[in-house]
Amino acid sequence: MGYGKILSVQPDSLAEELELVPGDKIIEVNGIKLRDIIDLSFAFADEEIEMLVEHGDGQQEVLAFDKDYDEELGVEFESAVFDGIRRCANNCYFCFVDQVAPHMRDSLNIKDDDYRMSFLYGNFITMTNMVENDFKRIEQYHLSPLFISVQCTNPELRCQMLRCKSADRLAAQLDRLAKADVEYHTQIVLCRGINDGQELDRSIRDILSRKPHALSMAIVPVGLTRFRQDCYPLESFDRESAAQVIEQVESFQKKERELTGRTFIYLGDEFYFLAGKEVPPAEVYDGFPQLDNGIGLARNFIEEFSAATSEAHTQSGEGYTEKMRLAVLTGTAIAPLFRKLADELPVVNLEVEVVPVPNNHFGTSVNVSGLLTARDMKSALGNTEKDYDGILIPESCLRTGDNVFLDDVSLQEFCGWFSGRVETVSGGEDFYRALTDFSNYQGVDGQEAVYMWQSNAAYTKRGGYDNE
């Protein structure tokens, strides 16, 4: 068991009334030893509470009090799990964490495979390390939905890809979740020549047969960096192979929409960028159920930008009284879209330069904005040899609250490299506001920029555990 170490106390909260302070540790509630915030939430639902607390000086105290049924404690913990994150014991062919550059911060090397983080924050899990008590707890608390890394449904192939003998239990595990009425989203990291083609057909059909407990399927291309040392040969998708995947998946999507009105299966944006195709319209994404996994990010960005444009009724002739030069730093994959959106704005005296940033740190085949480093952005902007009034960077480059880039450069240090004001951009609405009213624009609050490194190779916006 563990304890919940308090990171901060909300003003005017029950915790403040109880005189709890950062550093205090909550060990038990009503005799229940706490493993995570899930235990705490269920135990704290009672109206009469006895809470065992250990203060910073090591002294323990039992606090007894009454509370309203729905009254919360009002604290933030250092981690959502109190007994430590359960790590991944697999050695997957495609694991991105194994491809992280050396000498980067420790949190980037965390390979979690913890069902609690799946329920709480949408982390994808393989379930290969789960035991009977884990499933009993999922059933007891009805932890739904979960996020499952399928990769493929062929048991032998899944064992090979995950390099785990117990990976062949997937079907029985999904049966167990269905019996407990637990829903789940699924993901396949598609590896060219391994789990694509006929194997992908099989996986799609198998997961489709598990509706309604199976809620969605995301298919994302394997990401490879220059630091990969795994001896198993993997090949990135190119224009032709990405187009083949799109054609293959579209046949399933069309049938699903005809039968159910939902798409269910969604491709990562990278497939469309690689194939040189437009991302699908918003209705194909069914409300973006896997947006935090990067599925439909481009379309969602476009929709937000268009909505902001329509709401503001931007007219030709509106704009700045003097020349406003803005640089937009972004990953090479999304740069053409940013250029297109910027060109559509009829803003007087606005000069926008979209600067695609080659990812020299991880390797130029890594083309997403969330994995850009401060030094690569500095290098790309330095090559333009221009002065800018403002510089826009992706919020997804930054770590939780500290505002630190992947290469441990602080946002403050980054800002000091340039004469123009640096602001972060999160979504399409931010992008619109930054371009049309940069003088009054302020980037996303750093405290809201919460990201986590996941074992499925995604750097994804969620409530995270970077201080774990």
Question: Which residue ranges in the chain fall short of pLDDT 70?
Answer: 1, 95-110, 224-231, 313-317, 384-385, 399-402, 444-468
Domain shared by 149 and 191, yes or no: yes
The H or E element containing residue 14 is helix 14-17
From residue 187, alpha-carbon distances to 65, 85, 214 in Å are 44, 21, 11
* 290 is a domain residue: yes
Q: Name the token pair of 114.
A: 């913890």
Q: Tell me, yes or no, whether 456 lies in a domain.
A: no
Are 210 and 131 in the same domain?
yes
Rounded CA separation 399/396 (Å): 8
Asked which of 240, 263, 295 is the last residue of a domain, the reply is 295
Task: Return the CATH number at 154.
Answer: 3.80.30
Does any domain span residue 438? yes
- Provide Rg for the chain, Cα atoms: 24
Same domain, 368 and 423: yes
**pLDDT per residue as tens digits for the range 286-314:** 999 999 888 999 999 999 999 998 887 65
The pLDDT value given to residue 18: 94
374: helix, strand or coil: helix
Of 93, 173, 72, 187, nearest to 128 by C-alpha is 173
Q: What is the pLDDT of residue 88?
A: 80
Residues 107, 206, single domain; the answer is yes
* Cβ-proximal residues to 257 (8 Å cutoff; 6+ apart), any chain: 263, 284
In a domain, 82, yes or no: no
Residues 238 and 152 in one domain: yes
Query: Using one digit for the tens of pLDDT, what is the confidence trace for 317-336?
Result: 578 999 999 999 999 989 99
Q: Does residue 17 sit in helix, strand or coil?
A: helix
100/225 Cα distance (integer angstroms):
8
SS3 171: helix
Q: CA–CA separation, 118 vs 182, rounded Å?
A: 13
Q: How confident is the model at residue 451, as a pLDDT?
A: 30
* 55, 115: one domain: no
Domain co-membership, 58 together with 136: no
Q: Domain containing 117: what range?
A: 97-295
- Say if residue 126 is in the same domain as residue 262: yes
CATH number at residue 411: 3.40.50
- Are residue 166 and residue 212 in the same domain, yes or no? yes
Instruction: Identify the pLDDT of residue 398.
Output: 84
Are both 151 and 68 inside the same structural domain? no
pLDDT at 225: 62
SS3 89: coil
d(CA 152, CA 280) in angstroms, rounded, equals 24
Q: Note whether residue 277 is domain-resident.
A: yes
Domain count, the chain: 3
Contact present, 90 and 159 (Cβ < 8 Å) = no
Give the CATH number, domain containing residue 49.
2.30.42.10
Same domain, 334 and 279: no
Same domain, 137 and 276: yes
